[in-house]
Structure formats: C-alpha cells, structure tokens
Amino acid sequence: MPVRRIDTVIGVQHRYRGRLGYEAFKEDVDRSLVDQQIRAHQPPDNFDASLAHAPIGSIDLLVAQVPRLESRRSAADSDAPGVFLLFAERGEGTIDFGADRAPIDRNHVVVVPANKRFFVDYSVPPTVAFLGLSDELVEQRYPMLRGQAKSIGGDAPVDWCRRTVFGMARSMKSFEPDSTAELESVLHSSVALLSRSLGGQSRLPLLRFEARRAIENWTELRTLNVASLSMELGVSQRHLHRSFLGSTTSVAKAIRKRRLEEARFLLSSRQRTVTEVAYAVGFSGPSHLTTWFREHYGVTPATYQEDVTDLT
C-alpha cells in the first residue's frame, strides 16, 4: 500500500512508501505547506516517509519524518500567505534564502516567510515540524516574525518550544475532542516566547508554565521541592523563582497548593490518618499540614475527615 492514512481526533497522519507514495507525499506537502519541488536522495522505489497534519485552532501543525532529501522553491510568490516556524527533532540540514543561510537542527528555529524562495538540503534523515501562522495572526499577535527569514537560537528557549511541539505531535492520537482550545493556547505560548526572544524579551513566562505543569504531574510529592523542580526543568533555583515574579503566586505557594489538594483527596478516602497523609504529601509533620490546611480550606484536616465520614 503506497499511502496509509490514520485519522485522529484533531488531524490526519499518512505513511508513504515506494514510488507512488513518493508522488503522493510531494502533492500533500505542496497542499499543506507551499508549492515546492522535492527530490529524494534515494531511489523513489525505496522511499519511506510519514506526515501528520493537524489544524489546532488558528495554528497549523505539520510533522514530517523523511529520508534525506532536498526541497526547492525557485521563485518567490507574493500571494503565498503567512509564516512557518521550522523545528527539527533529529537530523540536520540547511535552508538557503539566497543571500542568507540558516541551520536546521535541534538548537534553532527557522522563521520561513511563505512568500519567499528557498532551498533546503537535509544531510541526515530528519524529523521536522512546522507551525503555520496566517498573515493576520502574525500581524495581530507576532509582529516580530514579519519580514525576512530569521534563525532563532542562542539564548532563546528553543529546546522548550521544540519539546512542546513534538510532544504534542506524538500525543496526537490520544487527544480528546474538546482539547483543541487548550492545545492552541500551549502552542501560542511557545510562539509568543520565540517572538519575544527576537525583541530581547524574557523567556520566563514559558518557564512558569512548564513549572506549573511539572508540579501538577508530580506523583511522589514527598520528593517535590524547589530544588528537585529546578533540577527537573534544567534551570537554577534563582531562575525558577524569577519566573513567578509578577504572577499571582510563587513557586513555593504553587507546590504547597499541590500538596494541600492531594492531602484533601487522601483525607476524603479515609484510608490514612492525618499524620500519614501529612508525610505522604511532603509536609514535615501533622502540625505543619494542619496549619496550612486550616488557612486554605477553613477547617483542620481532622475536622474535614470527620465531616466526610459523617456525610457517607
């Protein structure tokens, strides 16, 4: 079978094999991105590639796993709309815009205006992702991405954004039907951070987002603290604290809130004592839990557990 199609909740995935698959792949790339000429470095009969495409709200997500190939757009097209952000998870190559050349690798994101000519050469079989943004979206929300092609690297949060994009692509099959708005918000956070990095602005908002997500997903709360969270995120404790400045909470408060929510759940199950719950969720003892539980919920843990018992 030259082309295999898998429909997901938010998009579609294709697998292309052989000569017929090669021709179908070129047509689908033209339709999903922009018109271009693709040439594989290997014989078409051996072609093997995959392409996943998902419109996530106002952003198009396209992920391709391909063999070594080159792609060329020999003439600019003033009518081609929007901008593409090009990420690479594995493999490497270059994109040439005539006078300018940019690397395609894990350490850079390339801003590709859809109306420009280009030449791409992948020297190693890559897995790449594109985020497609309309002209209207760029004008309204991301003006720093307008104009000429750009390469974003250096101190920009490329790694975080790349992991977000490819993590979303890998999870495409398991998305719920009502998850599109949340996924779109996550992608906008990444694009906004990359856009601001071109203007020299802070990458702290995405770090705060990553920290909150890590806290929410932390399973062994006894091991959760600022030091372990910093290590998990690969940043210094000082940088982590700074990411919460100007927000409605602090990293310590976010961790404590997570402990209290888990404590409330465990108390509701009535299978552990207050002391056992306190140590299980990472408090130094039952008195410590009692102090913060009363401040947060207005009752002591013991009273809360008794009330739950009475109701059942």
CATH number at residue 46: 2.60.120.10
Number of helices followed by number of strands (H, E) in the chain? 11, 11
pLDDT level of residue 78 (50, 70, 90 thresholds): low
Domain boundary among 201, 225, 247: 201
- Per DSSP bridges, beta strands 59-65 and 101-104 are unpaired
CATH code of the domain covering residue 254: 1.10.10.60
Q: What would the pLDDT profile of 117-126 be if each residue is shown by its tens digit? A: 889 999 889 9
Residues 228 and 188 in one domain: no
The backbone torsions φ and ψ at residue 47, rounded to the nearest 5 degrees and listed phi first, read: -65, 135
CB 262 within 8 A of CB 221: yes
Instruction: Indicate if the pLDDT at residue 311 is higher than 60.
Output: no
Question: Residue 269 belongs to what domain range?
Answer: 215-311
As a whole number of angstroms, the distance between CA 227 and CA 229 comes to 5
| CA-closest candidate to residue 65, choices 9, 11, 13 | 13
Distances (CA, A) of 234 to 190, 210, 240: 18, 11, 10
Range with top average pLDDT, 1-10, 70-79, 227-236? 227-236
pLDDT in tens, 132-168: 999 899 888 888 888 778 888 765 678 888 888 888 8
Q: What's the chain's average pLDDT?
A: 85
Give the type of residue at 105.
D
pLDDT of residue 310: 56
Tell me how far CA of residue 25 lies from CA of 4, 30, 195, 211, in angstroms.
Answer: 11, 9, 31, 39
Last residue of a domain, one of 201, 225, 240: 201
197 & 302 share domain: no
Task: Judge contact between 207 and 240, C-beta under 8 A.
Answer: yes
Q: How far is Cα 195 from Cα 35, in angstroms, rounded to an integer?
A: 26
pLDDT at 299 over 90: yes
Residue 290 lies in a domain: yes
Q: Identity (one letter) of the amino acid at 201?
A: Q
Task: Work out the burial of residue 93: count CB atoms within 10 Å of its CB; fewer than 13 is exposed, 13-18 middle, 19 or more buried.
Answer: buried
**Are residues 104 and 153 part of one domain?**
yes
Q: Could you please report the per-residue DSSP string of 266-285?
A: HHHHT-S-HHHHHHHTT-SS
Q: Could you say which DSSP state residue 9 is in?
A: S
How does residue 201 score in pLDDT terms, banded at 50, 70 and 90? very low
Which CA distances in Å does 179 have to 59, 182, 189, 275? 14, 5, 16, 38
How many alpha carbons lie under 13 Å from residue 59 in its C-beta half-sphere? 25
Contact by Cβ (8 Å): 230, 224: no
Tally of domains within the chain: 2
Domain assignment present for residue 193? The answer is yes
